[in-house]
Amino acid sequence: MARSGVSGRARWLWGIAAGLAICALVVGGLVFQPWLLFIDVRVDDDIPAAATPTAAVPTPSSATPLEPTSTPEAPQRTEPVDLLAGTFLSHEHETTGTARVILLPDGRRQLALESLATTNGPDVHVWLSAGPVVEGTDGWFTAGGHPFVDLGMIKGNLGDQLYDIPDDVDLDVFRSVDLWCVQFSVSFGAAALS
């Protein structure tokens, strides 16, 4: 009789341990989402080709001294212009590709990530950061300690993608792009814009 009581108690303890282990696996899976490491999401946004900006030099007026002088109006731009660009370097995950800030003819600005290749992960956002881009493990956490503008969740871990930049963002302040994992407060990769 006593023997079956010990066996019943052992089974009960094993049942609780197994239940806790299953709960831990489920919670760990939901938090870490390890399956994302094996899933690639390719994005192929249509990124506009842009010209390199050139300084407009006003042409001298052909007016005589007796005639009023006028400044010629700048011609309306009809094509996008590159304002800033940079190349990604790897942080916590291998990351390659380029980032460009494009000024559209209507005055809007967009961030283009081109030929991006990084690891998929949970809760990865595209940030414009006021922090510097630092190579190596020291750079993994740099962006988290500086002001940033969150342009939203990353659309995918591969390919070409566009993000709208709000009109009030000062690009003299926010000079780097970070692929920031909000859940784990770590940078996957970053690009300094110049």
Q: Cα–Cα distances in Å, from 14 out to 4, 11, 17, 90, 125?
A: 15, 5, 5, 45, 42
Could you identify the residue written with the tokens 């630092």?
Answer: 134
**Averaged over 38-56, what is the pLDDT?**
81
Specify whether the CB–CB gap between 73 and 153 falls below 8 A: no
Q: What is the pLDDT of residues 59-95, one digit of tens each?
A: 333 344 444 444 455 556 789 999 999 999 999 999 9
pLDDT value for 188: 96
pLDDT value for 123: 92
Model confidence at 156: pLDDT above 80 = yes
Q: What is the pLDDT of residues 112-146, one digit of tens each?
A: 999 999 999 889 999 999 999 999 999 999 999 99
List the chain domain ranges.
1-32, 40-50+78-192
Identify the helix (H) or strand (E) that includes residue 2: helix 2-32
Confidence of residue 103 (pLDDT cuts 50, 70, 90): very high
Q: Mean pLDDT lowest for which of 29-33, 55-59, 182-186?
A: 55-59
pLDDT value for 9: 79
Q: What is the pLDDT of residues 3-35, one digit of tens each?
A: 555 577 778 878 777 676 666 555 555 555 555
Q: Does 185 or 55 have the greater pLDDT score?
A: 185
Q: Can you tell me the distance from the alpha carbon of 132 to that of 25, in angstroms, rounded to the nearest whole number? A: 38
Q: Could you tell me how many helices (H) and strands (E) the chain has, helices first?
A: 1, 9
Specify whether the CB–CB gap between 100 and 84 falls below 8 A: yes
